[in-house]
Amino acid sequence: MKTINKILVCVTLALCFGAQVQAADGGNPKKGKHLYKKECKACHGVGDEGGEITPMSKTMSQWDRFFKRNKHKAKAEVFNALDEQELLDIQQFLYDHAADSDQPQTCG
Ligand code: HEC
């Protein structure tokens, strides 16, 4: 029984650690917050064209998926205008304060 528990702990840790490494690795959330206000809020405040979007609008994995697969399909030019590092920073900020994160945040 003890050995099985140890194995389970190892597997769980590996999964958590693996997931974290994959998530927005290398982004700077402080810069991301600033960029988010500058680049995203214009269209994503209350009553704006894109509808209100905050870090809490999605879960951590939904944000990762959005930045990896969707890439702001609704208006692709928004993401095209930002470089890789800027997008990574924004992704990190949104991820860190996602609905299921440790510090969910409603305002940008
Ligand atoms: C020029 C205006 C504009 C800017 C700037 C903009 N967006 Fe958008 N965004 C939109 C529009 C329009 C939609 C589509 C809304 C809809 O489908 O109702 C959208 C959709 C989205 C969605 C999809 C919402 C969903 O339901 O999944 C997300 C997430 C999003 N934007 C995030 C961002 C982020 C992050 C940034 C900053 C990097 C950003 N947007 C900048 C206009 C903008």
User: Do the beta carbons of residue 67 and residue 91 sit within 8 Å?
Assistant: yes
What pLDDT does residue 18 have? 47
- Residue of the CA atom closest to atom 15 of ligand 1: 50
- Provide the residue range defining the domain that includes 32: 2-96
The pLDDT tens digits for 42-81 are 999 999 999 999 999 999 999 999 999 999 999 999 999 9
The structure tokens 């998530």 sit at 23
Q: Is residue 102 part of a domain?
A: no
Which atom of ligand 1 is closest in space to residue 82's alpha carbon? 38
Q: Is residue 38 part of a domain?
A: yes
Q: How many domains does the chain have?
A: 1
Q: Is residue 75 part of a domain?
A: yes
Contacts of residues 72-77 at CB distance under 8 Å and 24 or more positions apart, as own/partner, are 74/50, 75/43, 75/50
- pTM check: above 0.95: no
Q: Please work out whether the CB of residue 42 comes within 6 Å of at least one atom of ligand 1.
A: yes
User: Do the beta carbons of residue 91 and residue 71 sit within 8 Å?
Assistant: no
The pLDDT tens digits for 28-37 are 999 999 999 9
Q: Is residue 89 part of a domain?
A: yes
Average pLDDT of the chain is 86
Q: How far is the CA of 17 from the centre of ligand 1 (A)?
A: 30
Q: Is residue 103 part of a domain?
A: no
Q: Is residue 107 part of a domain?
A: no
pLDDT tier for residue 22 given thresholds of 50, 70 and 90: very low
Angle CA(13)–CA(87)–CA(69) in degrees, nearest 5?
70
Q: Is residue 70 part of a domain?
A: yes
**What mean pLDDT is predicted for residues 75-97?**
97
Q: Is residue 19 part of a domain?
A: yes
What pLDDT does residue 6 have? 66
What pLDDT does residue 93 have? 97
The structure tokens 């900020």 sit at 93
